[in-house]
Structure 1
Amino acid sequence: MSTDSSDKRILRIVDRPQKNYGNDLIEKANVTVKDSVCQFCFGTGTWMHPDKGAILCECRRSNSRDELFKASRIPSLFRKCSFGSYHPATPTQQWAFDYAQNFVKEYPDVGRGLLFMGSVGVGKTHLAAALLKDLMGEKAVHCLFYESGSLLKAIQDSYNPVSENSEMRVLAPVYQAEVLVLDELGATVPTSWVRDTLYQIINTRYINRKLT
């Protein structure tokens, strides 16, 4: 009798923890699945907006924003630039400010790029950086910032036989970006090679419907 009783106790002890352990696993699994799958896009990354059609889901935007921002090449000096920190001091600055904000609002339904012109210190680069940041943050647009002199230097360096980069490797992200900012266009001596290279970049992007 003692042996039978002991065996029964062992069976009960073994059986009950297994049952509870299994329930715990099921509950944890249910919580994990529920928490990991987005309730809006159900893991697809997009959802249907009634007016805008398929758009990137918010669950993907946080990661997408970080990746886009890192790849954008916005210089550290301008990474904190925003529309909120830009303060127009003249009517023309106000017009440029309003136009840049409207560009972001209307994108991708915009037919042409932008060209900011003005003297040093009026905020051309500030507005350009703010525009890119809003496009990436609000609409997950692939953007790229390049100081024109640095881009031309990178292309020239690719001609060096010992260079690990080719011209196309340098230009590929320039051609692929949905929106490209070329800063300080007038700062480079306009040799025939500079003009031809910049024309090639801008025209290639234009015929592929990329905004510059």
Structure 2
Amino acid sequence: MENNICPVCGGLGWVIRKNGVKKCVCKYSEITENIFNRMNIPKRYRDKDLSNFVPDPEAGHEFILMRIEDYINSDDYEKGKGLFLVGSPGVGKTHLAIGILKEFFRRKGIVGLFYDTRSLLFKLKSSFDGSSSAREILEEVVDTPILVLDDLGSERLSDWAR
């Protein structure tokens, strides 16, 4: 889009069809961007989802993808049950976790929350300087229906974080 004007709708947000009008794809992009912001999905992962994950048969990804599908189709999240993805760096854990968040939104309209554990700890610690409330941060984390804590356990824990 040049000059932030959509070439499809000319900036109106609607496309005129023979049988009426249809919301332009640019409006869906804005909605998607807002949802990604609300879910705290990092920009570098916004294009990642389950459909573009390339499974490695040697890493057992087919089994993992089946378990993920079972989880998304179940009501386990309502019971507080989750998934714990473990593996070496670079095997796709974050890609899959982002894909799970997006699928819950697409299929069930559920808006989850993504946090890199180190960022969350930093945000909590900095809340003590008065910039925000640790209670508000924790309520957001605890109250979200689907929570992704990325790199949980990989951070070096200070006495405070522990």
Scaled by the length of structure 1, the TM-score of the pair is: 0.56
Query: Structure 1 regions of 5+ residues with no counterpart?
Result: 1-34, 36-61, 196-212
The residue number in structure 1 matching 2:69 is 101
Alignment check: 8 A CA contact 1:64 1:140 kept = no
Q: Distance in 2 between matches of 1:137 and 1:64?
A: 12
Equivalent position to 1:138, from 107, 120, 125? 107
Alignment check: 8 A CA contact 2:77 2:145 kept = no
Answering whether residue 139 of structure 2 is matched by residue 181 of structure 1, we say no
Alignment check: 8 A CA contact 1:65 1:140 kept = no
Displacement of 1:105 in angstroms is 1.7
Alignment check: 8 A CA contact 1:128 1:181 kept = yes
Displacement of 1:107 in angstroms is 3.6
Displacement of 1:194 in angstroms is 2.3
Answering whether residue 37 of structure 2 is matched by residue 77 of structure 1, we say no
Q: How do residues 145-160 of structure 1 correspond to structure 2 at under 5 angstroms?
A: 145-160=114-129
Q: Distance in 2 between matches of 1:74 and 1:190?
A: 24
Q: Distance in 1 between matches of 2:54 and 2:126?
A: 39
Query: Structure 2 regions of 5+ residues with no counterpart?
Result: 1-19, 21-28
CA RMSD of aligned residues (A): 2.6
Name the amino acid aligned to 2:122: K
1:132-177 alpha-carbon deviations (Å, 9 max, x no partner): 00101111112000000000000000111xx320111222211121
Alignment check: 8 A CA contact 1:93 1:122 kept = no
Q: Distance in 1 between matches of 2:78 and 2:87?
A: 23
Q: How do residues 11-90 of structure 1 correspond to structure 2 at under 5 angstroms?
A: 67-89=34-56, 90=58
Displacement of 1:106 in angstroms is 1.7
Q: Distance in 2 between matches of 1:149 and 1:188?
A: 6
Displacement of 1:191 in angstroms is 3.8
**Matched position secondary structure for 1:115:** coil
Number of residue pairs matched by the alignment: 134
Q: Identity of aligned pairs, percent? A: 29
CA pair 64-106 structure 1, distance change in 2 beyond 3 A: farther
Scaled by the length of structure 2, the TM-score of the pair is: 0.72
Larger Rg: 1
Displacement of 1:64 in angstroms is 7.9
- Higher percent of residues as helix: 1
The residue number in structure 2 matching 1:118 is 87
Alignment check: 8 A CA contact 1:65 1:137 kept = no
Q: Distance in 1 between matches of 2:160 and 2:65?
A: 33
Q: Distance in 1 between matches of 2:158 and 2:143?
A: 26
CA pair 109-177 structure 1, distance change in 2 beyond 3 A: closer
